[in-house]
Chains A and B, each alone.
Chain A
Amino acid sequence: MLKGVSAVFKRELAAYFATPLATVFLVIFLFAMGAFTFYMGGFFTNGQANLGVFFSFHPWLYLFLIPAISMRLWAEERKSGTIELLLTLPIPLASAVLGKFLAAWAFAGLALALTFPIWITVNYLGHPDNGVILASYIGSWLMAGGYLAIGSAVSAGTGNQVIAFVVSVVISFLFTIAGAPLVIDALSGWMPVELLGTISSFSFLTHFNAIMAGVIDLRDLVFFGTLIAFFLFVTAVLVDLRKAG
């Protein structure tokens, strides 16, 4: 374990709960999840004992809610000047990057875990495949990690939280729909097919849908793992670049 990760992790996680941010976020997250699943998704009327509709809304909710968690990661430190403190403490930069990310990811995991009543509900009403549900939860959490890593890198690139939020949403949106007709049709006229295939393989939706089918494929794990590692690396590079002035 890198030195200092746990100290940064604990501080960051506590910071979410030191302000109303945690409460507001959790309430809105759970409320939105419920509203989407029951009203827009027709959870009760579709007559299926599974959580497919519930999980199918996750990418779209994350798109807006995850940047709200990640935007403060570095932008706030820069604004308040505490980054000068953090970067002159005797810990590797990687520890600070990782500790912050893990705290945000744990917080997202908590929000996700608090949706457990819907799992109880579906088990009460029928006999769902709990293996599929578990896989979907894991997939959803991995996907949240992907969005968070993107948000972390964007936050490191600016001292302004609003900019961090908006840019994160846009980049996250591109990653979400990379495989959708909106993107593919726009590019297919002039882009080589191989490149098109590469772009659509970056789609969060494609990978998440694969996991939601109940199979955690190594390729999907590798995709999200690599994506997270890459954007955390970008975060570290951006923080370090700022040191050079």
Chain B
Amino acid sequence: MAMIEIDGLAKSFGPVAAVRGVTLSVDKGEVLGFLGPNGAGKSTTMKMLTGFLTPSEGAARICGHDVQSDPLPAQRLLGYLPEGAPAYGDMTPRGFLAFCAGVRGLTGEAARSAIERVVTRTELARVLDQPIETLSKGFKRRVGLAQAILHDPPVLVMDEPTDGLDPNQKHVVRELIREMSPQKAIIVSTHILEEVAAICTRAIIIDRGRVVADGPISDGRIVFRTSPENGEAGEVIADARDLDDVFRALTARPAAAA
């Protein structure tokens, strides 16, 4: 059984269809790169998968638990880094992580060791007692990451985990994801195409609410099954470094339509 199952998810905000039938599944050991232009429906899909938004159609399951009808078991198995890594600004990372541990039912020694483990992994020790709102963007993002992996969840969903980080920080986060990947099913959304080649085992491209390409990555090569909106379904084999071209070919709009 796949650990993440997304089945025909769709979401409309009034007349605007943000997501139009996304179906995919992610197994243990897979790191799925979520690509797509701004507004393609990446974040909306993630928000539905994690139970923050109610889908207009379709269903999402985490380790077999339906996110809509059975949210708590699903959310217990889930670590989620929302877009922009929101956190309570008036709290310190220590207090914030203690809160997350408490909500997740970790107490006493279990909470203490879990917090210690993620603080080491995300290198937060230096800022542990400063209010989060005073931290740099890189540290804020790492606080969000620490919160997501605090309970060592089998399923991780991260919305742009490296957005706004400097190259060193990006490297640290990518290493972290790579280390964790054998044990987990991970979805990462990103705008940085070379990141996909670096950490993902599979990539999908979402455009206008649909999956337009889906394929595994191995040895720096990617084999996409494509189904662009107005084109023929087909197969594209690309060097992962040329992902840029594939991305543009599949999602670019004619200038007149833009």
Interface residues of A (CB under 8 A from B): 3-4, 6-8, 10-11, 14-15, 18-19, 80-82, 84-85, 87-92, 243-245
Contact = CB atoms under 8 A, between A and B. Distances in A.
Contact of B103 (A4, A243, A244): A4
Nearest to A86: B103
B84 interface: yes
Given A15-B90, A88-B75, A90-B72, A245 B82 contact: no
A8 B100 CA distance: 10
A85 B54 contact: no
Nearest to B13: A245
Contacts of B72: 90-92
Contacts of B73: 90
Given A7-B103, A90-B75, A80 B52 contact: no
| 6 A-B pairs closest in CB distance | A81-B86, A7-B102, A90-B75, A18-B90, A84-B82, A90-B76
B46 to A, nearest CB: 10
B100 A89 contact: yes
B103 A89 contact: yes
A15 B132 CA distance: 13
Nearest to A92: B72
Given A11-B91, A244-B54, A85 B13 contact: no
A94 to B, nearest CB: 12
Contacts of A87: 51-52
Contacts, number: 75
Interface in B50-77: 50-54, 56, 71-73, 75-76
A157 B214 CA distance: 39
B45 to A, nearest CB: 13
B220 interface: no
A81 B103 contact: no
Contacts of B11: 245
Contacts of A244: 53-54
B80 A3 contact: no
Q: Which of A7, A8, A92 has the largest number of chain B CB atoms within 10 A?
A: A7
Given A11-B91, A85-B86, A85-B87, A3 B54 contact: no
17 contacts: A4-B103, A6-B102, A7-B103, A14-B95, A18-B131, A80-B86, A80-B89, A84-B47, A84-B52, A85-B87, A87-B51, A88-B78, A90-B103, A91-B72, A91-B103, A245-B11, A245-B53
B126 to A, nearest CB: 21
Interface of B: 11-13, 47, 50-54, 56, 71-73, 75-76, 78, 80, 82-84, 86-91, 95, 99-100, 102-105, 131, 147
Contacts of B50: 88
Contacts of A11: 88, 91, 95, 99
A82 B103 contact: no
A19 B88 CA distance: 12
A8 B86 CA distance: 16
A82 B75 contact: no
B132 to A, nearest CB: 10
Given A11-B88, A18-B91, A243 B52 contact: yes
B99 A7 contact: yes
Contacts of B95: 11, 14
Nearest to B95: A14
Nearest to A87: B52
A85 B73 CA distance: 16
Contacts of A80: 86, 88-89
Contacts of B147: 85
Contact of A10 (B56, B90, B102): B102
Given A14-B95, A19-B90, A244-B54, A88 B13 contact: no
Contacts of B100: 89
Contacts of A19: 90
Contacts of B99: 7, 10-11
Given A11-B99, A84-B86, A91-B72, 6 more contacts: A7-B103, A11-B88, A15-B91, A90-B73, A243-B53, A244-B53
